[in-house]
Chain A
């Protein structure tokens, strides 16, 4: 039944409706694929019993003609989303065996619409990382390998399990989260489609917090259409998240295939980095040509504060993280290490529970918020953030509909190849982090291969709450570039 796993969500939806197969058959095929792909380490907790139960329920509803828009569609859920009665860890030792007594809003909307939970997916610890190597469950392997090589490559991060599972046909789509590029970079590394919606589009309630002013949930899928289908269920106002926006959720799928004729596409000159690989440069021009051929107009634009986005991010995000992660104190949930008084108990629990990258970021965040350094670091970074956002506003005010950039500065790299110098790892997010700083939507679409046979992606950045334009433009690139599937070796 391997062919049941290689379908898109749109195809599966049709197959279920025409009774070509049942939701239970579809789920069983995926559970078997997950079992056979254990070495990728994409799932940290498969939930086969729950999956079968939900699939049977979907079949019953479909039979009665009451199936929702995602009835019977098996999905993987990043382990950052709280799932009721199912262990949720953020891939950190400090959450230990945390079993949420509640469900995140985004996942509850997926279940409302009939989707099936296959299991929880690996990610960087607390979503801090760009390679999925900081997970307490160990790294995830990318199903893509360099031509003629067996070297294990990272799937990117932090949503590495989501990207790997979607690319390796271990689920039909996955939830992910993006604070600095954690949906788009892994999507680019695995030839999948990932969209980070506008800040406020999806509720953050029940998602383990990293940096609250930057975090957004979004889907990773195998086509722009599938991403659009998932987005519609994930998005929407939630009274439990005061930063979620109360505006209507459009039918994103209707944007797929819509003409992009006459749209103005900005090409930001500041994204042309010194020493950028020729392949990335070529991919970028190719993407621009495809959009032009579809009737879009290309214009050079300037986003002068681009180079300051990453350093400002590495003040704002750790500052918020140090505050958010203060809750892990060994009292209310998670790991507790004894100490001779309560302070020692806190310090020992946190030393034992946090991995190196998380500890580093909590410490830098604590420092930039501490008395005497707040103005020099945190306040300055928040002012720079205003300027970064203004760059985009100026650009959109000139009639630009969307901005085209590369998604990442390189293709996937090897497990253990980067990370000795933390800053080297941070540079992975150089093209994506500006979007979080400005709260804008961004989509990564597979666009080609490098000389070693690894996927590369392009990013489109949109106006606030205009994800539809990104879906329309992304679909044009997808149509021109085609689909990329990794040869099965696992």
Chain B
């Protein structure tokens, strides 16, 4: 399988990465090189094989469902590019 220019633009949009028209042919070439490389997986017989979901055979530990953290709003917004009163500011989403 390989991707065309339209697909490259669609993937870029899905990934939320702005791509200029001039970058598309180059990206298309790179993505197709990667897809050609992984193509060899189609020769493997995977019939009846379970997909891996956990690499170590262990049960995930669950913690008690209790509040054990909090009151750290200053820490949470400390690195944000734009904030107001402990809120993250973003461009207007609804008119």
A interface residues with partner B (beta carbon < 8 Å)? 97-99, 101-102, 198-200, 213, 239, 242-243, 245-246, 305, 307-308, 311-312, 314-315, 322, 326, 329-336, 338-348, 350-351, 354, 359-360, 362-364, 366-367, 370, 373, 376-377, 379-387, 389, 421-423, 426, 437-439, 464
Contacts and interface: CB of A to CB of B under 8 A. Distances in A.
Interface of B: 1, 3, 7-8, 11-19, 27, 30-31, 33-35, 37-42, 44, 46, 49-56, 58, 60-63, 72, 75-76, 78-82, 88, 90-93
B56 A101 contact: no
Contacts of A338: 91
A214 to B, nearest CB: 8
B90 A363 contact: no
Contact of A331 (B13, B33, B88): B88
A206 to B, nearest CB: 14
A359 B17 CA distance: 8
B40 A311 contact: yes
Contacts of B35: 364
Contact of A439 (B31, B55, B76): B55
A359 B50 CA distance: 30
A385 B52 contact: yes
Nearest to B75: A101
Dominant SS among interface residues on chain B? loop
Nearest to A371: B14
A150 B30 CA distance: 32
A346 B40 contact: no
Nearest to B33: A423
Given A308-B44, A366-B11, A423-B37, A360 B30 contact: yes
Nearest to A97: B79
Contacts of B90: 331, 342, 345
Contacts of A331: 80-81, 88, 90
Contact of A381 (B16, B34, B41, B93): B41
B88 A332 contact: yes
B80 A199 contact: no
Given A334-B79, A384-B41, A421 B33 contact: yes
Given A200-B56, A245-B56, A332-B80, A308 B40 contact: yes
A93 to B, nearest CB: 13
A363 B56 contact: no
A308 B41 contact: yes
Given A380-B44, A464-B56, 15 more contacts: A245-B58, A305-B44, A331-B81, A332-B76, A334-B79, A334-B81, A345-B91, A347-B16, A350-B17, A362-B15, A363-B27, A385-B51, A386-B52, A423-B34, A423-B37
Contacts of B60: 242-243
A200 B58 contact: yes
Nearest to A354: B17
A182 B91 CA distance: 38
B17 A367 contact: no
Contacts of B54: 213
B84 to A, nearest CB: 13
B56 A387 contact: no
Contacts of A385: 51-52, 55
B28 to A, nearest CB: 10
A345 B82 CA distance: 13
B11 A389 contact: no
A383 B51 contact: yes
A220 B34 CA distance: 30
